Structures are given as structure tokens and as C-alpha cells.
């Protein structure tokens, strides 16, 4: 059965980092409230801070209330990333790929390393795709690979969210800054529009992603238990259960369902939408890289999902199964918008920006942004909503220090992923597939985090030293 983190004998059987991780996970499961509580507490903290800075309570309440719905477009875009990733991950062709990959490893450690690699590679395309794809891959490997530790493989499946997802195409912050309609007006006035060529497609960002992927795979391989100590889903561990790679629906029971099971509509509509996407990239006045924003990105995923599911009925089923994972985003983002409104609509943003400027120099500012983003990520686990809170004052301070604005976005991206390794919020879809608990993964997450922190902080600081400041473009 799963080790009991409260049992000293069970802890003694684990390595040092795993024991620390199990203890931390046990504490967090006991004392950490639902993430929505952090959003509500955040509103009160900012309100009290505003009063301490001599802001009017009425002004704080009004500015917060006005902003409640300001993130509706961005919220829907984040929801669509989850849905699009799930839809593509459950298509027949991806299911066949998962089964093929699951048959390649020759032992448990190789399997864990492969899961880690594909978790991170797919997260560069979509973090939603990474969670579902990696979870299904672990489930399939658990039946095929003898000696694979289910806990280590589950933690490896989460590395996409804990290592490099924000350095890839589904980065909430980078995509927001490249999508004018998604940027709140108050932030746009400070930062301007930042195209992806100044964030995700910087060579420095690509180097950081490669380094983290290589290091993470090595750590995953070397930390995986040997076959003698490995625990699988079928020896009493929580992961046992039926496979989640279910066959697609192909039978219709009434004449009215003919179009639901025919590929005609899927092919025609997908062709039209892909025609539009190609035209968007072809006609972009500043090159194809500037054409990719959140709307285009989500359209591509949904269109590919529609085409690969082939029949509308299967596409609808995949969408329906993905919706429960979107609840946290839907309800929390409006409350984070209230925090944003109180910060930007009053003098709090200016005060914080001045504090960041006074506390740092041009050379040390990147380190403060990384540290602050990582710490805040423990309490605000959503990269998109946390960026909305942080961006006004860290971008304003970046302007004053004349630090490359696009790289500041990437510093935030790299650092905010670190607490994901021990924070259970985004684990939920993966845990549902694996039928595990957060404490079963966090021990390995703690080990990865201990290795990642110095690497991320050093690269963020080193690259920032050699990048020229580019003024905001509105």
C-alpha cells in the first residue's frame, strides 16, 4: 500500500528528499485550504494594504468591483487550453502513439525517464495536452513495464507543469502579452504589446528549456527506485483500476444521429478553419511568429482535435470529459481580477514598483523577480492569474531599471513553474487519471525542485546581463 507519511517506519524506508517531500505533502494536505481561499484572502490583504497606504476604502472597493469581469476573455482562453489539450490527447492517433511509446522501455527506470521527457516536450506545445498525455502514458506503461515505480512515473508525468511548460507555446503570461485583447488596459499602458519573438522565441529561452529538460530527465532516471523497491498500481497501491484509454464511440442508435457519427462535417469545418489559420500566418505583416496569439493557438488545437476525432460525437464526448478540470480557472480568475483592479486602480502599483526599484539594481532585479514569483506561486498557483497580479508593478520597475521586458516575462515564467512541483493545484487532472494522492508525487517533486532552483535563478540572472532594453510598443 502507499507509504503513510505519518508513520516513522515508512519514512525511514525512503530517501532523505522523499522523506522531506512526504512530510511537506502531509502538512499541506492537512493545512492548505482550497486555492479559492487564497484568492479571497488576497483580496482582503490588498484591501488592508491599500488602507495602510492611505487609499480610500470606497476607492479600493469600487476599483476592485469594476475589475471583476475584466479577465473574462483571458479566462475563456485558459479554459480552452485545458479543453484543447484534453481533446487532442484523447484522439485515436495519440492513443496509438501512447501505446507504441509504452512498449519501448526495457525497465522501470527507462520508463520513468521516458515519461519525464515526453511530459516536458508535450508541455512546450500545451500544458493541458501534457497532463492528459503523460497520465495516460503512465497508466499504459504500468501494465507493460515490469519494475516501474508508479509514484516516480506519476511525478515524472507532472514535470511538464513543474519545469518547462511556461517556456513553451501555452505560456499564459507570454501569450497574454502577445494578445492585445487579453491584456488589461492598465497593464497595456505600462508594458505595451510584447510579441513572442521577444519572449518564447528568444534563443536564451530555448537554451533554458533544453537545460531543464536534460537535467530533469537525469534526475528522474537516477531517483527512480530499482525493481526490488518499485511499487506498481496493482500491488495495493492507490493507482489500481481500469485503463482510461477507452475505445471511441462508433455505433448510432437512431437516424437522427447520422451526422453525429459521420466525418463529413468534421472534415469540412476543419478544412475551413485550417485555411483561415494558414492565411493568418501567411498575411501577418511582421512575420509568422507575431501572428500566434492565444486565440490562434486555441483555434489550432480545437480544429486539430475535431479532425483527429473524426466524428463530431467523439469530439463532443472528449470536450465533455475535459470540462470538470476547468472549474478552478472559471471561478478563481474573476477574484484575482479584483486584486488586479485594486492594485492598478489605486496607488498600490506605483508603491510596489518603487519598492522593487529601491530594493534592487539593474543587475539584481532579475533575481528578485524570480524569487518573488516563485514564492507567490506557492499561494497563487495559477500562472495566468498570478501574472495579472504581478505584471503591473514588476513591468513598471523593469522599465525604470531598463531590463529587457520580454526577458522579465520569461524570468517570471521560469520561476513561477518551480512551486508547481510541490503544489497540488494543477496535479488534479493527473491525479484523477492515475488515482493517486498529491503526497505520492511530492517527494520526487521536492528533489527536482532542489535541483531546478539554482539552475533557473542563475540562467535568469546571467542572460539578463547581456540583453538590451527595448521600450514598450503600444
Query: What is the pLDDT, as a whole number, of residue 241?
Result: 40
Q: Return the higher-pLDDT residue of 409 and 424.
A: 409
Per-residue pLDDT of 301-338, as tens digits, reads 899 999 999 999 999 999 998 888 788 778 888 988 89
Inform me whether the pLDDT recorded for 163 exceeds 50: yes
Handedness of CA 336, 125, 207, 164 (dihedral sign): positive
Inform me whether the pLDDT recorded for 238 exceeds 50: no
Query: What is the pLDDT, as a whole number, of residue 37?
Result: 82
Helices and strands in the chain: count of H runs, count of E runs = 24, 0
Query: What is the pLDDT, as a whole number, of residue 381?
Result: 66
Q: Classify burial at 315, counting beta carbons within 10 Å of its beta carbon; exposed 0-12, middle 13-18, buried 19 or more.
A: buried
Q: Is the Cβ–Cβ distance between 43 and 335 less than 8 Å?
A: yes
Q: Return the higher-pLDDT residue of 20 and 82.
A: 82
Query: What is the pLDDT, as a whole number, of residue 237?
Result: 45
Query: What is the pLDDT, as a whole number, of residue 395?
Result: 94
Confidence of residue 457 (pLDDT cuts 50, 70, 90): very high
- Quote the DSSP letter at residue 163: I
Nearest-angstrom CA–CA distance, 120 and 100: 18
Q: Is the Cβ–Cβ distance between 124 and 165 less than 8 Å?
A: yes
Handedness of CA 146, 149, 153, 156 (dihedral sign): negative
Nearest-angstrom CA–CA distance, 109 and 131: 20
Inform me whether the pLDDT recorded for 412 exceeds 70: yes
| Cell numbers describing residue 38 | 487564497
- The region that residue 280 occupies, defined by phi over 0 for left and psi between -120 and 50 for alpha, beta otherwise, is alpha
Q: What is the mean pLDDT of residues 147-164?
A: 91
Average pLDDT taken over every residue of the chain: 84
Q: Is the Cβ–Cβ distance between 125 and 169 less than 8 Å?
A: yes
Nearest-angstrom CA–CA distance, 76 and 78: 5
Per-residue pLDDT of 91-117, as tens digits, reads 989 989 999 999 999 899 999 999 999
The angle at the Cα of 277, spanning 275 to 281, to the nearest 5 degrees, equals 115
Q: What is the mean pLDDT of residues 251-262?
A: 76
Out of 34-43, 95-104, 279-288, 331-340, give the one with best mean pLDDT: 95-104
Nearest-angstrom CA–CA distance, 187 and 193: 10
Inform me whether the pLDDT recorded for 129 exceeds 50: yes
Per-residue pLDDT of 178-236, as tens digits, reads 888 888 888 999 999 999 999 999 999 999 999 999 999 999 998 888 777 777 774 44
Per-residue pLDDT of 359-404, as tens digits, reads 889 999 999 999 989 987 776 667 777 898 888 889 999 999 999 9
Q: Where are the domains of the chain?
A: 51-249+256-464
Q: Is the Cβ–Cβ distance between 404 and 468 less than 8 Å?
A: yes
Inform me whether the pLDDT recorded for 25 exceeds 60: no
Q: Is the Cβ–Cβ distance between 150 and 434 less than 8 Å?
A: yes
Amino acid at each position: 500500500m502507499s507509504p503513510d507519511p505519518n508513520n516513522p517506519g515508512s519514512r525511514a524506508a525512503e530517501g532523505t528528499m522523499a522523506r522531506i517531500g512526504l512530510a511537506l505533502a502531509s502538512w499541506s494536505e492537512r493545512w492548505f485550504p482550497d486555492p479559492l481561499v487564497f484568492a479571497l484572502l488576497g483580496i482582503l490583504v490588498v484591501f488592508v494594504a491599500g488602507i495602510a497606504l492611505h487609499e480610500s476604502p470606497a476607492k479600493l472597493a469600487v476599483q476592485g468591483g469594476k475589475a471583476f469581469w475584466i479577465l473574462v476573455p483571458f479566462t475563456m482562453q485558459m479554459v480552452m487550453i485545458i479543453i484543447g489539450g484534453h481533446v487532442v490527447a484523447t484522439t485515436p492517433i495519440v492513443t496509438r502513439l501512447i501505446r507504441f511509446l509504452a512498449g519501448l522501455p526495457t525497465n522501470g527506470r527507462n520508463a520513468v525517464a521516458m515519461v519525464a521527457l515526453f511530459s516536458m516536450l508535450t508541455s512546450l506545445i500545451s500544458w493541458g495536452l501534457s497532463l492528459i498525455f503523460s497520465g495516460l502514458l503512465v497508466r499504459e506503461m504500468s501494465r507493460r513495464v515490469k519494475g516501474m515505480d508508479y509514484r516516480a512515473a506519476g511525478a515524472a508525468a507532472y514535470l511538464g507543469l513543474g519545469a518547462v511548460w511556461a517556456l513553451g507555446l501555452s505560456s499564459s503570461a507570454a501569450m497574454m502579452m502577445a494578445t492585445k485583447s487579453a491584456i488589461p488596459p492598465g497593464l497595456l499602458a505600462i508594458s505595451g504589446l510584447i510579441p513572442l519573438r521577444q519572449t518564447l522565441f528568444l534563443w536564451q529561452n530555448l537554451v533554458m528549456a533544453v537545460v531543464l529538460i536534460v537535467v530533469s530527465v537525469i534526475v528522474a532516471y537516477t531517483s527512480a527506485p530499482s525493481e526490488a523497491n518499485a511499487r506498481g498500481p496493482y500491488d495495493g497501491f492507490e493507482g489500481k483500476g481500469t485503463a482510461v484509454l477507452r475505445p471511441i464511440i462508433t455505433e448510432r442508435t437512431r437516424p437522427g444521429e447520422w451526422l453525429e457519427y459521420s466525418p463529413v462535417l468534421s472534415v469540412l469545418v476543419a478544412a475551413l478553419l485550417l485555411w483561415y489559420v494558414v492565411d493568418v500566418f501567411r498575411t501577418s505583416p511582421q512575420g509568422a511568429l507575431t501572428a500566434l496569439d492565444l486565440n490562434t493557438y486555441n483555434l489550432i488545437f480545437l480544429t486539430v482535435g475535431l479532425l483527429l476525432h473524426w466524428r463530431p460525437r467523439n469530439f463532443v464526448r472528449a470536450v465533455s470529459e475535459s470540462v470538470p478540470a476547468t472549474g478552478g480557472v472559471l471561478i478563481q480568475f474573476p477574484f484575482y481580477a479584483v486584486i488586479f483592479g485594486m492594485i492598478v486602480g489605486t496607488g498600490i502599483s506605483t508603491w510596489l514598483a518603487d519598492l522593487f526599484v529601491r530594493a534592487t539594481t539593474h543587475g539584481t532585479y532579475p533575481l528578485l523577480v524570480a524569487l518573488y514569483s516563485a514564492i507567490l506561486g506557492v499561494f497563487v498557483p495559477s500562472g495566468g492569474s498570478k501574472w495579472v497580479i504581478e505584471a503591473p508593478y514588476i513591468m513598471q520597475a523593469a522599465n525604470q531599471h531598463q531590463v529587457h521586458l520580454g526577458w522579465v516575462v520569461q524570468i517570471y515564467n521560469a520561476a513561477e513553474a518551480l512551486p508547481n512541483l510541490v503544489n497540488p493545484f494543477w496535479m488534479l487532472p493527473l491525479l484523477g487519471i492515475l488515482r493517486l494522492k498529491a503526497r505520492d508525487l511530492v517527494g520526487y517533486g521536492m528533489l527536482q525542485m532542489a535541483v531546478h532552483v539554482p539552475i533557473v535563478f542563475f540562467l535568469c540572472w546571467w542572460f539578463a546581463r547581456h540583453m538590451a532594453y527595448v521600450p514598450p510598443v503600444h
